[in-house]
Chains A and B, each alone.
Chain A
Amino acid sequence: MAESDYQLLDRYATGNGAAFEELVKRHQKTIYNLAYRMLENHADAADLAQRTFVQAFLHHQNFKRESSFRTWLYQIGMNLCRNAIRDRARRVHEDVHELELAGSQDIFAEVAGAELKDRLGRAIRTLPTRQKEALVLRVYHDHAFAEIGTIMSCSEGTAKANYHHAVDRLRRALVSGEG
C-alpha cells in the first residue's frame, strides 16, 4: 500500500532521501502544469516548479497539516506564480506567439490553425490574476470551489465568483473575436 504524503513527509523529516524523491515524483507534474498554465512557458514553469518544492521542503516544519500536502504545494506554487506574474508585469514584455519552426513544413497552415487557439490564449492571458487562478484550478486541476478558496486564501464564494467572471470574460472575448 502506498504511503500517504504525511508519512512520506515524516520520513523526509528524519532524513530519508527516498521519501523526498517519492514526494517530488508524486507531485511534480501537477505543480509543473499549474506553473505552465499560469506562466505559459516551459523555462519559467520548470523554474517555478523547482522553487515550489524547494520552498516546501525548506519550510516543511511550518506545514500544520490542516490541508493536504498537495493543497499546500498548490498554495506555495500559486504564491510564487503571483510573484512571478507581478515581476513580469513590471518588465516590458513583448508577447510573441511561439512557433515550433524546426519541425514545421507548412508555416502558413500552422499560423492559421493557431489563430483560434491564440485568441483564446490571449483572452486567458489578459484575465485578472485571481480569475485566472480560479479558472486554472477549476478547469485544469478539477478542484472543488472550497479547495480553490483554500489555495487562493479566500472564501468559497469568492472563488466561485472569480471563476464565473473568468468564464464570462472569455465567452465575451471569443464572441467579439468571431463577430
Chain B
Amino acid sequence: MSAVAPSLERFAGTWRAGFGVVARLIRNHDVALVVLAAMLGAAVGVGVVVLEALVQLVHESAFAIAPGGHLSAAPALAWWRALLVPAAGGLVAGLAAALIRRWRPHEIVDAIEANALYGGRMSLRDSVNLAFLTVIASGFGASVGLEAGYTQLGAGFASWAGQRLRLRRSDLRTLVGCGAAAAIAAAFNAPLAGAFYAFELVIGTYSPLVLAPISMAALTGALTARQWLGDQAIFGADMASVSITGLDYVLFAVLGAIAAAIGIAAMVGVTRIERALRRQRVSSWLRPSLGGIAVGILAVTFPQVLGSGHGAIQLVLEGGLSGSVLVGLVAAKGLASALSVGTGFRGGLFSSSLLLGSVFGAAAVLGLEAVLGRIGLVPDGLDYVAYTLVGMGAMAAAIIGAPLTMIFLVLELTGSFPASLGVMVGVIVASVTVRLTFGYSFATWRFHVRGVPISGAHDVGWMAELTVETLMQRDAPMAPVDVTVGEFRRRFPLGGADRVFLIDDEKRYAGMVLSADLHSADLDANREEKAAAHRGAVGHFLLPQQSVRAALDRFAAAEADELPVVDNPRDLRVVGALSEADALRRYTQALERARAEELGERTLFGPE
C-alpha cells in the first residue's frame, strides 16, 4: 500500500502538469482550439447516435414498429398504442421532471441563454437530465423533436470541457457553439446546416475566429454519426427534374408569408396552452400526461403526428398522402406540437416545424395546382417536391429563427441548387414577416415569456456583471446637512472634491452640493448661510446592484454628472459615488472588448 501511494501521487502530479500544458496550449493557440473542437464534435456525434438509438428502442418496444422503421410513418400502428402510449409517456416524463426539479430546482440553462448571459457556462448534469427527458418525450410519441436534446447535450458537454480547461469567456462561448453545431450536423448529416445553426442561434454572429472551430466540430460530428447511421441524406427526394418558373418564385413568397403566420400561431399556441393549464392549477407533474392523452387522441386519426416526424416528412416528400389528409395534418401536427411543448414535454420544435412546413407546402401545391390548373395558368403543373421543400424551409425558419440554416439544410439534403433558390425566397419572406409582425423566434419567445431579457445569443452577460458597485468610488466626500458655507469652505477647499454629498443626523443622503457654487464670491458675505440651501439631486441616487445601463439612465433623469451610491432606498446610507464620465468610459471599454471578441480581434482598432 505504502509503495503504491507515492506512484499514484506521481501519476496525479504528472497528469495535472500535462493537463496544465494542454490547457495553456488551447488558451494560447487558435489551432489547438480547432483540434479540441474537432475532438468534441466527434464525441457529440457519438452522443447523438446513442440518443437516437435509445429513442428507436423505445419506439420499437412501446409502439411495436418494425426494426429500423419510423414511428411517424409506421404502416399499421395499433390504435390503442397510438392512444395510450403518449399518455403513459406523459406520466413518466412528468414524474421524472418532478424528481429532477426536486433535486435541482432551477431552470435549465440552454446554449443560447448560456452564451448570452453566462459567458458560455452550462451545467453538464442539467444537460444530461434534459437530454434524458427529451428521449422520454420523443420516445413515447410526444410531438417534439430530439434536436433540443442533442444540442443541449452537445453544448453542455463542450461547455463542461471548456470550463475544465479554464478557457477564456469568448473561447467558452465558441465551444458551446461547437457542441450545438456538431449535434445538428450529426442529427441531419448536414455539416453546413449544423455550422450555420451555431452561427445564427448559438453564437449570434459570424466571425472568422469562430469559423474554423465550429466548422470543424460540425464536420467531425457529421462524419462520426455517418459511421453508424450511414452517409445517405435523412430525407430522400427525387430532385432530378426540378423545374421552377418565374410564377413559382412569386408563389414561394406567398407560401413563405402564410408559413410565417402558421408558425406564429404555433408559437403563441404553446404559451396559451401553458397559461390555460396554469390557470386550472394542474400540477406540473400531471400536465405532460394530459398532453399525452390529447396527442394520443390526435394520433388515432393522424399517426404522423407522433414523435419527431422524420418518417412522415419522407412520406410527404414521396407524395404518400392525399391533399385532404395533408390539410388535416397541418392542423393536427400544429396542435399536437403546441400541446406537447405547452403541457411540459421536453423537446423542441425543430423537427416538428420541418414536418409542419413540408405538410403545409405539399397541401399548398396540390391546392394551387387545382385552382391555377383550372384557369390554365400552370398547364404543366407545379413542382410538388420544390413546393414541399419551400414550405418546410419557410416554416422552420419562421419558428426556429435560423434562415441560412434552413437554406443550407435543404441544399445538403437534396443537393439541388434550383430547389435551394426557391427555398431561399420562401425562407427570406417567412423570416422577414415573423420579424416585422411578431419579433421572436420560438427560443427568444420562450425567453420573453419567462422574463429573461435577451433577444438572442449575443453576449450581454458582461453588462449584468458591470454593476454600480464594481464601478463606484468608495471614498465619497460627505458633510452634515446643516453645515454652513464657511465651515464647508474650510473642510473642502477649492481644488479638492468637486461635489460633496450632504447627510442628515441619521446618516441618510440629503442632497448634493457643488464645491464651486459654495466657493463663489457671491457667498463671501453669507458665510453663515446653510450649504443645504444650494443643494441639488435630492432624491436621486444609485444602488450598488444596478447595472451600468440603469445607472446611465439615472444620470439622464437626474441631469447630474455625479450621483451618490446608497446602500438601499430605505436607509439611504451613502456607500460611494459614481460619475457619469466614469460609467460611460467603463461601459464603452466593455462594449468595445465584447465587440472585438465577437469579431475575433483583440481590439476594434488596427495598429497605429
Say whether A associates with B: no
Q: Which residue numbers of B lie inside 8 Å of A, CB to CB?
A: none
Q: Which residue numbers of A lie inside 8 Å of B, CB to CB?
A: none
